[in-house]
Structure 1
Amino acid sequence: MRGETTELLLENLTKLLKLPTIRQQYRSLAREAEERNLSYEAYLLALLEQEQTVREANQRQQKLQRAAFPIRKTLDTFDFHLLPSLNRNRVMTLAQGEFVQKKENVLMLGNSGTGKTHLAIAIGMQMVQEGFRVRFITAANLVEELLVAKEEHRLLNMEKQWLKYDVVICDELGYVPFSRAGAELLFQFFSSRYERGSSILTSNLDFAEWTQVFGDEKLTAALLDRLTHRAHILMMNGDSHRFRQSLQRRAQEEHDA
């Protein structure tokens, strides 16, 4: 009877203290501790380590979901040989996360199809593994969200929510030109993150061409001044990976035919 009462108390206490892993594993670990003649302290340590391991894994999974990556990409699947101008060691150093701790930015510039989005996501996923809060969004969608937030008088609250992210990945800047209002809101967004959080931006345009997107030379210059201060700039011009793969598929199909 005492054993049943003890188990019932353990069930209730582990639920109350929100220790689900301990609740699930205390019996099996107790048997293992008995077989190995472990001390009470060693048994307790094993229980707590299991709880912490599962909790950290769950937190990483939650952060991955909140990051809203459109697809999962990793650094080990990025083919650096196809882009010899890109310094692999520099990228791997960035993936260690020091730029996030220093609240620095990473800007990836290059023509379409060279793997900018892949690399941005891969670094972002690595930052999640390092425990940072990351969020992915395209530049067009970000501007749309900012415009809606302004219309609904919740712009300040939205910016506060975004500042909770250690890294914001803004993809495809330059593919769609913005309205004057959209450009000003995007400028305000990145200005608010200046030295308060890191950003990773990808663009198919050189800096000199950004005026085409923002429509104002002074606004563009002011934005670039903030973004490039203490930033890591990766030039990723080269042959399009997608175009190369398309040619390879076509050649294979012709060969098979």
Structure 2
Amino acid sequence: MTTLLYERLQDAFREFGWTRIPEVVDHHAEEAAKHNISYLEFLDKLLQEELLSKRERFIRMKTRVAHLPFHKKLDQFDFSFQPSIDERRIRELAALRFLAHRENLIFLGPPGVGKTHLAVAIALEAIKQRYTVYFTTAHELVETLQQAHQNNTIRQKIKVFTKPNLLIIDEIGYRKMEDAAAHFFFQIVSERYETGSIILTSNKSYGAWGEIFGDAVLATAILDRLLHHSTTINIKGESYRIKEKKKAGFFRPEGSEDKPE
């Protein structure tokens, strides 16, 4: 390849915004010459490399802006430890038909049973399929809304929670919401109703949501919109964190205290 041709190609790559092809063009050119690869096949190999690189950059960027607390996939979930979960049902949900239909998904269960892991795993699948995702805990959501209300930026902040294709609200029920925050929460749920999906995790049954929002009527209105098009997964089982502590020897069966010799 002549110097002039090489420089022209590099200029073209920059103009198109291609980043992967400049790294691999020499290798593929050598392979094409060595194996007598056709021009079209050579071009296809270069473009596929660029498309794959672009997709990987997109996923990294969308994952970063999603604010996920960790990156755990569905294959890392120990279904054998939680027999109350139907693995086939979870994998069907991970196919994202609920997201395409703008439906909601609620995981209920005690702390530590894997609700957040499942929510994050499905979020990662959604990002791979080019959906926009935003993750927040209920505590962070309340603090953000209260601060925005004080700063007169509540409308702009609510848009942050209504714009993504998928909004994940983790840990509903660990603290009671003040009146203003509860009404803003209702507003977010209402604006997303039939326009965007929500994944929500909670340690409280639906019957206790009146206590969370401090108003049984408001809780009913929220649940009415959340549950109209939704799937609820109830998880009953032991905490993974307690399981790990037992493995490490921090928990002992009753009556197994050390006895003096």
Place the TM-score, normalised by the shorter chain, in its bin: over 0.9
Residues 53-132 of structure 1: pairs in structure 2 closer than 5 A: 53-132=52-131
Question: Aligned equivalents of 1:215 and 1:162: distance in 2?
Answer: 22
Partner of 2:136: 137
Farther-moved stretch of structure 1 (75-84 vs 131-140): 75-84
Question: Aligned equivalents of 1:17 and 1:134: distance in 2?
Answer: 28
The residue matched to 1:160 in structure 2 has which SS? helix
* Residue 196 (structure 2) pairs with residue 205 (structure 1): no
Partner of 1:215: 214
The residue matched to 1:195 in structure 2 has which SS? coil
**Superimposed CA distance per residue, residues 124-162 of structure 1 (whole angstroms, 9 cap, x where no aligned partner):** 122222222212110110121122222223322233333
After superposition, the CA RMSD in angstroms is 2.1
Counterpart code for 1:190 = V
Question: Aligned equivalents of 1:12 and 1:217: distance in 2?
Answer: 64
Counterpart code for 1:41 = L
Partner of 1:29: 28
Are the structure 2 counterparts of residues 82 and 253 from structure 1 closer, same or farther at C-alpha, using a change threshold of 3 Å? Answer: closer
Question: Aligned equivalents of 2:201 and 2:216: distance in 1?
Answer: 20
Counterpart code for 2:144 = E
Question: Aligned equivalents of 1:7 and 1:234: distance in 2?
Answer: 57
**Superimposed CA distance per residue, residues 234-253 of structure 1 (whole angstroms, 9 cap, x where no aligned partner):** 00122222223323322689
Partner of 2:224: 225
Partner of 1:10: 9
**Superimposed CA distance per residue, residues 60-112 of structure 1 (whole angstroms, 9 cap, x where no aligned partner):** 11111112111221212222222222211111100111111011110011111
Residues 144-159 of structure 1: pairs in structure 2 closer than 5 A: 144-159=143-158
* Residue 189 (structure 2) pairs with residue 190 (structure 1): yes
Note the residue ranges of structure 1 that are not aligned, 5 or more in a row.
Answer: none
* Residue 180 (structure 2) pairs with residue 181 (structure 1): yes
Counterpart code for 1:192 = E
The residue matched to 1:58 in structure 2 has which SS? helix
Counterpart code for 2:166 = V
Question: Aligned equivalents of 2:145 and 2:19: distance in 1?
Answer: 40
Question: Aligned equivalents of 1:215 and 1:173: distance in 2?
Answer: 13
Residues 230-241 of structure 1: pairs in structure 2 closer than 5 A: 230-241=229-240
CA contact 2:73–2:120 (8 Å) conserved in 1: yes
Partner of 2:241: 242
CA contact 2:246–2:252 (8 Å) conserved in 1: no
The residue matched to 1:113 in structure 2 has which SS? coil
Farther-moved stretch of structure 1 (170-179 vs 155-164): 155-164
Farther-moved stretch of structure 1 (102-111 vs 68-77): 68-77
Partner of 2:161: 162
Counterpart code for 1:173 = I
Are the structure 2 counterparts of residues 171 and 252 from structure 1 closer, same or farther at C-alpha, using a change threshold of 3 Å? Answer: closer
Figure out how many residues of one structure are paired with residues of the other and give that number. Answer: 255
Question: Aligned equivalents of 1:182 and 1:237: distance in 2?
Answer: 30
Farther-moved stretch of structure 1 (108-117 vs 203-212): 108-117
Farther-moved stretch of structure 1 (204-213 vs 68-77): 68-77
The residue matched to 1:242 in structure 2 has which SS? helix
The TM-score, its normalising length taken from structure 1, stands at 0.92
Counting helix residues as a fraction of each chain, which structure ranks higher? 1
Note the residue ranges of structure 2 that are not aligned, 5 or more in a row.
Answer: none
